Structure 1
Amino acid sequence: GVEITTGPLGQGFANGVGMAMAEAHLAAKFNQEGFPVVNHHIYCICSDGDLMEGVSYESASLAGHLKLSNLIYFYDDNNITIEGNTNIAFNEDATKRFEAAGWHVLMVEDGNDLKAIENAIKEAHKITDKPKLIRVKTIIGFGMPKQGTNKAHSDAPGEEAVKETKRNLGWDENKHFYIPKEASAHFREAIKRGAQYEKDWDALVKNYEKAYGDLGKALKETRTNKLPAGWEKSLPTFENVEAKATRAYSGEVINAIAGTVPQLFGGSADLAPSNNTNIKDAGDFEPESYAGRNIHFGIREHAMGATMNGMALYGSVIPYGGTFQTFSDYMRPAIRLAALSGIQTIYVFTHDSIGLGEDGPTHQSVEHLAAMRAIPNLAVIRPCDAFETREAWRAALLRDKAPTAFAFSRQKVQLINRNKFASADGLHKGAYVLAEAENKQGKSVQPKLIIIATGSEVGLAMQAREKLNQSGMPTRVVSMPCWEFFDEQPAKYKESVFPQAVKARLAIEAGVSLGWAKYTGDAGDTLTVDKFGASAPAEDVFKEFGFTVENVVKKAKKLI
């Protein structure tokens, strides 16, 4: 059947590549001699417009490199776009382009020649070392009065043109929503044939489960798209944790759970050493080694995001992909479609702020948290320490009907004593009271000020709290790693975190201030970054932008 209808041009092309990657991976993992339990092709129909989109170039290059022979694409080559003939903007040789990318290209000169199309498919099946593109020459709007023109592409034909089209095709012009009996009978043959295929496959899988006990059990569990029982026990406890960047903690979580969550399948856009996305000893996903779990997407962020969507929709894998947070811009169309589609994809964005340092403002993420938070159904989680990082991964894996984006730091974050302060379990509610307000004697009291912070700035908030409490200004610190989770909480819980009686609120985040007023209120303030960053060591940049204990205390006192 048709698995995806994609909307924006080019996305479906890359989705198909992702589905082929998932199929190849699962086939290599489970198939045994005489038991091809995962064994099929991925078909895609693409247009001139799809091939013009940059994401098709990226994903075609990736598919060619990976030699995904399970891909068969039909290029509907009709030379028409909305503005007119494609030669006004697109005249490259598509055959040479795809051959250069490692594809085998076949040609069908007449899109109405069904026998020629069938023969091309049979020929494509014989090619076992590369993806295939069948270039089919067609006439857009075939049979319409304006066939072969851009008018047939985008204009409503009108009642008379519809009648003329029916006459040209030999149909009764007065019948509406009519399907000839021979057409419906032909298509319904697929029902009986498909039922037999399914019956045969079910029998094959049943025998496979008997012959290969552990593999059979693993296949059965994988097909349910559910996490293995007890998987959460493999999450790291982080006893005697050392101060590290949250990206490093994320890498530790990935490797701790990889053995018990075999569905995890992902990698990075050429930044694995920085994103900490590699699963140790799991092998690389490459030609001749499709069982490997570490994907090298190359410097193809858009293709990474769009192929991940294809993998998620294929099922039986949980795709994740990493890059610097500023490059989430390259992936945004795919992230948006993941959120719209309600699928489980996980984005490992690192180097999440001006804390990136010397690479400067081109790479320093400033507006990206706000941009991602604007996407409905996407959870953006910015953890402050090892424990919140662990809980962030737990949340993302349990959140199986929506995508999750992590924002991890490049620089080390301050240690938070979880024996003294609140548990990181509060992450699942989006925001929680990490440290309560205290008087000078260290006794918990009602707060006069609330400091709200995310990520690496939580440590700064905790330092400022100590000084403010000692100065006689009882200050509560709220860690707010995920706005989306908090917004889902009942009013009673929200009031317990942000009492309406406490108007003095200061939000601290190394990103733009957009959106924070919802939580600080009109009487509150922010310490944020509403301009591009600067090239210097991280500690110098933070100081320059006012992220110091002294400045936090100064801004806080102005609110009282």
Structure 2
Amino acid sequence: MASQLDQQCIDTLRFLAVDMVQKADSGHPGLPLGAAPMAYVLWDRYLKHHPSNPHWADRDRFVLSAGHGSALLYALLFMTGYGLTLDDIRQFRQWGSKTPGHPERGHTPGVEVTTGPLGQGFANAVGMAIAEAQLAARYNREPYKIIDHYTYVLASDGDLMEGVASEAASLAGHLKLGKLICFYDDNNATLAGSTAVTFSEHRIERFQAYGWHTATVEDGNDLAAIDTALSQARLEVARPSLIRVRTHIGFGSPAQDSYKAHGSPLGEESVRKTKEKLGWPVEPAFLVPNDVLMHMRKATARGEDWETQWMQRLQDYQSHYPELFQELDTRLRGALPPGWDADVPVFEPDQKGLATRESSGKVMNALAPKLPALMGGSADLDPSTKTALSAFGDFRPPRTGETDAHDPAEEHGDYTGRNIHFGVREHAMGSIVNGLAAHGGFIPYGATFLVFSDYMRPPIRLAALMGLQVVHVFTHDSIALGEDGPTHQPVEHLASLRAIPNAIVIRPADANETAVAWKVAVETRDRPVLLALSRQKLPTLDRQRYASAEGLRQGAYVLADAPGGKPALILIASGSEVPLIVQAAERLREEGIAVRCVSMPSHELFEALPQSERDKVLPPSVGARLAVEMAATQGWERYVGAQGAMLGIDRFGASAPGETVVREYGFTVDRVCTAARALLGHRRETAQMR
């Protein structure tokens, strides 16, 4: 039985949310009305946080995966003292407000991750739980538990329907992430109808099969039952927990238990009836009783005490373990340790060269000893993506004692490991590395083939929206991968990824450009970096003859110039096609043509330059420009201009040895030279593969 004050707090949360949605004439009142009790129990009795310092490193993380219920989160943040005002609450979903339609990280204090696309927050939370487990295993020393917090999620039916949540839940159970607790708001409704229409599986049994501890609270208004289920979940050390709470969507409203309560304002008359039914004053709107506010604002004092105690432990820890403290402090501040790039290799000229996936692997393993924050893995593709950190072990749970029947020789797991085996779960991998980045203390990476970035577009987009430092290593970057054929040969993917705002795509031309690309990725703190790397070997250019690979930092640079820096023709390429234009340029120079070769590994880095600097690379006075890239031509028109042309691919690939596919698609010296001569002859030829 809830006390009178508890009930007042819950109803304040409910009706702040209802009034927000009604005033905005837009939003989702159903979830806040039903889920407010479980949120209140968590935030009032268990959540370790400090509203005056939302970035305190050892806070519990709360993720509203059901981001459409944002009004409930904003009410919680306002009531507990995160700096939101009642005016901010009144400006829900309005231009420039701190309370946008779905929670946005970095926009509203206390919002851990941007949610709304269902399932993403759930998978982000798995990443946060991995982060906590790895940091705790690496740095905690008895009696100092410096890293010791939980990750909580509030998820809806829709979250659990999304495939990304299933992928992430499967991995979380396998990894035995005991400090991950999910509240499942089971209200039998989605936006378009009852869950009976689409969702009849046994969810509890599914999560049990994943290896989760589960519990069910039959009445979402039963605070004691919620409290008991949560306290029991916190005692679980070897399993994540799913607490199913049966609630009524739109509780107390005329639309209770109907999908119609999900995503539309209740309407003035229904708001009045709901308040009357639940014993809440109809007027004024946005009512916050003083005793309720005083009670919930105690969270600030509790948080200050928690952080003060933690700071004292941290000081004691520093005196006993100064080196570990320094390493941890550097990671939590997001700083780079001195000399982090000192061992990055410089690759000698080599006509045979290396695949850029291989040189990337060498660079990663040179960085890893100096960058403890570097952690990640691949979607079951380490042998192909070359992304394993060879000296730093696998992130695995402790063994339970029984032998793995599939691998009797398997070693004991260790949460200190830095290689995450994501399995064939690209979508979850993208979302989990976002959670690692959002948690803090990591430079996370995920790896797969470029073509499978299609499975990962939602988390890549959200990483860009949140400004998270995530590195995506995409190998097998073109039709040159060969025999696997068009299902595995990316064509439109570079253009698609380049279209994402606030993301940086880099396609390096050789081993040394790859090394610089990794430096850029490590230094870039405010957005994701996507590396597109080759399967086939590429020549390592002689940098005594050609410009320094450091030119990659500006996105495009003059690799080799015409005499006197006065070209009649500019050849532009990225990645594996740079050696091709270099060869073509040599032939054209023999014909007396003044050619400039431009390596353009990153459109985004180039666009960040002032126009005057871009003009130095691509002078407006030179209209004869030919861009060469084994990918869709879309996006290159801005660089070749009206008088230029693009040699690209606007159809799917084919299955054959890589050299054959490349030749048959016309990526040859002869084809490049023919297209270049056509431009200089002012013939209107597009040089595009159609």
Which residue pairs with 1:79 in the alignment? 188
Q: Deviations along 1:200-230, whole A, 9 cap, x unmatched?
A: 1110111001111211211221211111122
Cα distance in 2 between the residues matched to 1:453 and 1:445: 19
Alpha-carbon offset, residue 55 of structure 1: 0.2
1:227 is the counterpart of 2:333: no
Which residue pairs with 1:548 in the alignment? 668
Alpha-carbon offset, residue 240 of structure 1: 5.6
Which residue pairs with 2:167 in the alignment? 58
Alpha-carbon offset, residue 325 of structure 1: 0.3
1:308 to 433, 444, 452: 433
Map 1:434-449 to 2 at 5 A.
434-438=559-563, 444-449=564-569
Map 1:289-438 to 2 at 5 A.
289-438=414-563
Cα distance in 1 between the residues matched to 2:628 and 2:265: 53
Which residue pairs with 1:441 in the alignment? none
Which residue pairs with 2:265 in the alignment? 156
Which residue pairs with 1:100 in the alignment? 209
Which residue pairs with 1:138 in the alignment? 247
- The question of whether the paired residues in 1 share the 8 Å contact of 2:560 and 2:596 is answered with yes
Map 1:487-526 to 2 at 5 A.
487-526=607-646
Cα distance in 2 between the residues matched to 1:535 and 1:325: 17
- The question of whether the paired residues in 2 share the 8 Å contact of 1:415 and 1:459 is answered with no
1:283 to 374, 389, 393: 393
- The question of whether the paired residues in 2 share the 8 Å contact of 1:16 and 1:44 is answered with yes
- The question of whether the paired residues in 2 share the 8 Å contact of 1:143 and 1:169 is answered with yes
Equivalent AA in structure 2 for residue 390 of structure 1: A
Q: What percent of counterpart residues are identical?
A: 53
Alpha-carbon offset, residue 5 of structure 1: 4.0
> Which stretch of structure 1 is more off in the superposition, 164-173 or 505-514?
164-173
Distance 1:423 1:49, change over 3 A: same
Equivalent AA in structure 2 for residue 412 of structure 1: K
Cα distance in 2 between the residues matched to 1:452 and 1:557: 15
Alpha-carbon offset, residue 382 of structure 1: 0.1
Equivalent AA in structure 1 for residue 359 of structure 2: Y
Cα distance in 2 between the residues matched to 1:167 and 1:181: 20
- The question of whether the paired residues in 2 share the 8 Å contact of 1:449 and 1:475 is answered with yes
Q: Deviations along 1:157-181, whole A, 9 cap, x unmatched?
A: 1112111111112111011111123
1:536 is the counterpart of 2:656: yes
Distance 1:85 1:360, change over 3 A: same
Cα distance in 2 between the residues matched to 1:235 and 1:339: 27
Alpha-carbon offset, residue 183 of structure 1: 2.3
Alpha-carbon offset, residue 420 of structure 1: 1.1
> Which stretch of structure 1 is more off in the superposition, 346-355 or 226-235?
226-235
Map 1:141-290 to 2 at 5 A.
141-239=250-348, 243-288=353-398, 289-290=414-415
Alpha-carbon offset, residue 415 of structure 1: 2.5
TM-score (norm 2): 0.80
- Moved beyond 4 Å, runs of 4+: none
Which residue pairs with 2:97 in the alignment? none
Which residue pairs with 1:119 in the alignment? 228
Cα distance in 1 between the residues matched to 2:595 and 2:657: 30
- The question of whether the paired residues in 2 share the 8 Å contact of 1:382 and 1:407 is answered with yes
Q: Deviations along 1:290-319, whole A, 9 cap, x unmatched?
A: 100001000000000001111100000111
Alpha-carbon offset, residue 155 of structure 1: 2.1
Equivalent AA in structure 2 for residue 258 of structure 1: A
Aligned residue pairs total 555
TM-score (norm 1): 0.98
Cα distance in 2 between the residues matched to 1:251 and 1:4: 30
1:10 is the counterpart of 2:119: yes
Equivalent AA in structure 1 for residue 630 of structure 2: A
Alpha-carbon offset, residue 186 of structure 1: 2.3
- The question of whether the paired residues in 1 share the 8 Å contact of 2:349 and 2:543 is answered with no
Q: Deviations along 1:263-300, whole A, 9 cap, x unmatched?
A: 00101000001101011120000112110000100000
Map 1:450-469 to 2 at 5 A.
450-469=570-589
Which residue pairs with 2:593 in the alignment? 473
Q: Deviations along 1:115-165, whole A, 9 cap, x unmatched?
A: 111111111122111100000000011111111111111222111211111
Cα distance in 2 between the residues matched to 1:526 and 1:73: 51
Alpha-carbon RMSD across the aligned residues, in angstroms, is 1.0
Q: Deviations along 1:324-347, whole A, 9 cap, x unmatched?
A: 000000000000000001110000
Indicate the SS of the match to 1:506.
Answer: strand
Structure 1: gaps (5+ residues): 439-443
Cα distance in 2 between the residues matched to 1:224 and 1:456: 37
- The question of whether the paired residues in 1 share the 8 Å contact of 2:349 and 2:541 is answered with no
Alpha-carbon offset, residue 445 of structure 1: 4.9
Structure 2: gaps (5+ residues): 1-48, 50-61, 63-111, 399-413, 681-690
- The question of whether the paired residues in 2 share the 8 Å contact of 1:452 and 1:479 is answered with yes
